[in-house]
Structure 1
Amino acid sequence: MHAKRTTTDRTRDADEQRPRRLAFLRGIGLRQVRMFTGLVLFAYLLSHFLNHALGNISPEALQAGVEWHLEIWQFLPVAILFYGSVATHAGLGLWALYQRRRFRWRTIEPLQLLLGLSVPLLIYGHVIGLRLSNALYDIDKLYPQVFYAYWVAAPPYRVWLMVLVMLVAWTHGCIGLYVWLRIKPMARKAMPWLLAVAVLVPTLALLGFYQGGRETIRDSSSRGWQEKNLSVKQLGTLAQQATLDRVGEAFVIGYLGLIGLALIARAARGLNERRGGMIRLTYGADRMIRVPKGLSVLEASLRHNIPHASICGGRARCSTCRIRVIGNPADLPPPSSREAFVLDSVGAGDDPTIRLACQLRPTHDLAFLPVFPPRNAAAARLAARAARVGEERYLVSMFVDLRGSTKIAETRLPFDTVFIVNRFLGAVSRAVIASGGQPNQFIGDGVLALFGLDDTPREACRNAIRAAAAIAASVDELNGFIGHDLPEPIRFGIGLHGGEVILGEIGYRDHMVFTALGDSVNVAARLQDMTKALGCETLLSDELRATAGIAADQLPTQQVEIRGRVEPMLVCPIVQSRDLAAALDQSELMFA
Structure 2
Amino acid sequence: MNHMASPSREHLQDMARGIGLRQVRIVTGAIMFAYLISHFLNHALGNISTQALAIGVYYHTEFWQFLPVAIVFYSACLVHTGLGIWALYQRREFHWKAIEPLQLTLGLSIPMLIVAHVVGVRLGQTLYGHEKLYPQELYTFFIAAPNRLWTMLAVLVIAWVHGCIGLYFWLRLRPFFQRAAPFLLATAVLIPTLAMLGIYQGGRATIADYQDADWRREELSVQKLGTAAQGTTLEKITDDLTIGYLGLLGLVLLARGARALLERRGGMIALSYGNGRTLRVPKGLSVLEASLRYNVPHASVCGGRARCSTCRIRIIGDHAGLPEPSPREAFVLHRVGNDDPSIRLACQLRPTADLNFFQLFLPSTTSANAHAANPARVGQERYLVSMFVDMRGSTQLAEKRLPFDTVFIVNRFLGAVSQAVLEAGGRPNQFIGDGMLALFGLATDRQVACRQALRAAALIATHIDELNQFLSHDLREPIRFGIGIHGGEVIVGDIGYRDHMVFTALGDAVNVAARLQDMTKALACEAIISDEVRVTAGLADDALPAQEVAIRGRNEPMTVRTVEKTQLLSTLVDDWRAVAA
TM-score, reference length from structure 2:
0.63
1-structure distance, mates of 2:500, 2:276: 23
Contact 2:96 2:303 in 1 (8 A): no
Supply the RMSD in Å over aligned alpha carbons. Answer: 2.2
CA contact (8 A) 1:26 1:338 kept: yes
Q: Does 1:229 align with 2:288?
A: no
1:14 positional shift: 3.2
Select the residue among 359, 365, 376 that pairs with 2:348. 359
Secondary structure of 2:278's match? strand
Do 1:27 and 1:342's aligned partners in 2 also have CA atoms closer than 8 Å? yes
Within 5 A, what are the aligned runs for 1:404-443?
440-441=499-500
- Code of the residue aligned with 1:210 in structure 2: it is Y
Q: Find out whether 1:215 has 2:200 as its counterpart.
A: no
The answer as to whether partners of 2:305 and 2:347 remain within 8 angstroms in 1 is: yes
Structure 2 counterpart of 1:175, one-letter code? I
Q: Distance in 1 between matches of 2:167 and 2:360?
A: 28
- The residue aligned with 1:90 is 81
Q: Distance in 1 between the 2:327 and 2:197 partners?
A: 47
Is residue 112–residue 172 contact of structure 1 (8 Å, CA) maintained in 2? yes
How far apart are 1:22 and its partner, in Å?
1.3
- Kindly indicate whether residue 105 of structure 2 is the aligned counterpart of residue 114 of structure 1: yes
1:61-460 correspondence to structure 2 within 5 Å:
61-104=52-95, 106-154=97-145, 156-285=146-275, 287-348=277-338, 350-374=339-363, 376=365, 440-441=499-500
Q: For residue 328 of structure 1, report the CA deviation from its aligned partner.
A: 2.3
- 2:12 aligned with 1:21: yes
Letter in 2 for 1:55: G
Q: Is the 8 A contact 2:28 2:76 kept in 1?
A: yes
Residue type at the aligned position of 1:441: H
Q: Is the 8 A contact 2:43 2:195 kept in 1?
A: yes
- CA-CA distance at 1:187 after TM superposition: 1.8
Aligned residues: percent identity? 60
Q: Deviations over 1:454-501 (max 9, x none)?
A: xxxxxxxxxxxxxxxxxxxxxxxxxxxxxxxxxxxxxxxxxxxxxxxx
Answer yes or no: is the 8 Å Cα contact 2:300–2:366 preserved in 1: no
CA distance in 2, matches of 1:352, 1:377: 25
Equivalent pair of 1:284/1:369 in contact (CA under 8 Å): yes
User: Given the alignment, which residue of 25, 31, 34 partners 1:34?
Assistant: 25
Rounded to whole Å, the distance in 1 between the matches of 2:168 and 2:259 is: 31
User: Could you give the per-residue CA deviations for residues 15-38 of structure 1, whole angstroms, max 9, x where no partner exists?
Assistant: 331111111111111121111111
Alignment check: 8 A CA contact 2:284 2:351 kept: yes
Query: Which amino acid in structure 2 is aligned with residue 85 of structure 1?
Result: A
Shift of 1:362: 0.8
- Give the stretch that moved more between structures: 83-92 or 368-377: 368-377
Q: Is the 8 A contact 1:325 1:354 kept in 2?
A: yes
How many Å separate the matches in 2 of 1:142 and 1:359? 48
SS in 1 for 2:357: strand
Question: Do 2:298 and 2:362's aligned partners in 1 also have CA atoms closer than 8 Å?
Answer: yes
User: Conserved in 2, the CA contact under 8 Å of 1:277 and 1:292?
Assistant: yes
Q: Deviations over 1:218-262 (max 9, x none)?
A: 111110111221111110111111111111111011101110111
CA distance in 2 between counterparts of 1:115 and 1:124 reads 15
Alpha-carbon separation, structure 2, partners of 1:237 and 1:262: 38
The separation in 1 between residues aligned to 2:499 and 2:162, in whole angstroms, is 41
Distance (whole Å) between structure 2 residues aligned to residue 95 and residue 203 of structure 1 = 32
Q: 1:268-296 CA distances to partner (integer Å, 9 max, x unpaired)?
A: 11111111111111222152211101000
Aligned counterparts, 1:561-580, within 5 A: none
Alpha-carbon separation, structure 2, partners of 1:284 and 1:139: 67
SS at match of 1:279: strand
Q: Deviations over 1:489-531 (max 9, x none)?
A: xxxxxxxxxxxxxxxxxxxxxxxxxxxxxxxxxxxxxxxxxxx
Q: Residue deviations 1:141-162, cap 9 Å, x none?
A: 11000100110111x3211111
Q: Distance between the aligned counterparts of 2:337 and 2:295, measured in 1?
A: 30
Whole-Å separation in 2 of the counterparts to 1:72 and 1:247? 27
1:443–1:210 Cα change, 3 Å: closer
Larger Rg: 1
Deviation string 1:95-127 (CA, Å, 9 cap, x unpaired) is: 111111111274211001100110011110011
Distance 1:105 1:319 in 2: 16
The answer to whether the 8 Å contact 2:143/2:207 transfers is yes
SS state at 1:312 partner: coil
8 Å CA contact 1:183–1:312 kept in 2: the answer is no
